[in-house]
Amino acid sequence: MRRIKAIVEYDGTGFSGWQSQSKGRTVQQEIEKALRELLQEEIAVTGSGRTDAGVHARGQVCHFDTANPMSCGMMMRGINALLPQDIVIRAIEEVPKEFHARYGAIERTYRYYVSQVPTALQRKQRWYVGHPLDMEVMQRCADAIIGEHDFGAFCKVDSSAKHFRCSVRKAFWQRRDNDVVFEIVANRFLYGMVRALVSTMVDVGRGKISVEQFIEILQSRQRSRASSSAPPTGLFLEMVRYE
């Protein structure tokens, strides 16, 4: 058996998330279906992590095992020919059997895109916020989450996480033309964490709450204290890093 690693790009608009489920279309199910047809085997795909319904990815990573001797180049062309247009395999390589897409990941990078002007072409990949945003205070919030913290205040209440501590290596806001973009790099992410952080920081940028109140929310570990989640449309899994 060979272990194959793939980097996957997808538009999450038409999916009920990454993970296979009994109801709704998922990215994992579409990839497994295409691989079964291509390789003529039962294939189980393991992703680096789940993405919610409507969330996009440029650099999702997954692995699967196969006994088929097909070259990686032919495999990549074949699977892309079979996949729907909202999923693309960007790279495929054979890796050691010890590689694990989920447990081997040491860091993930997410970006969230906020549009400051209405957009028709990118309406499914942006969160439109027409209010002026104070970038300085939003960056102060981003600075406050760098390091290891308990992010229970920014995790969905029905999460099955065993603990809520995450180590954030990088977090910053920047302007890109008509967009305001938040980038965060951490060793792990909780269910709904990035969207809750973004919405709460946007409320700081709008002047609805202060930086000091944001820090109090973080320290409270109470999800009810933070803002409602930002829409999934603006969130992208950009990259997963391994040793």
Catalytic residue numbers, as ranges: 52
Q: What is the number of other CB atoms lying within 10 angstroms of the CB of residue 183? A: 16
Distances in whole angstroms, Cα of residue 149 to Cα of each of 79, 152, 188, 191: 41, 9, 11, 15
User: Which is it for strands 179-186 and 165-176: parallel, antiparallel or unpaired?
Assistant: antiparallel
Write the DSSP symbol of residue 56. Answer: E
Continuous segment of H or E residues that includes residue 170: strand 165-176
Beta bridge partners of 62: 6, 47
With 0-12 / 13-18 / 19 or more C-beta atoms within 10 angstroms meaning exposed / middle / buried, residue 128 is middle
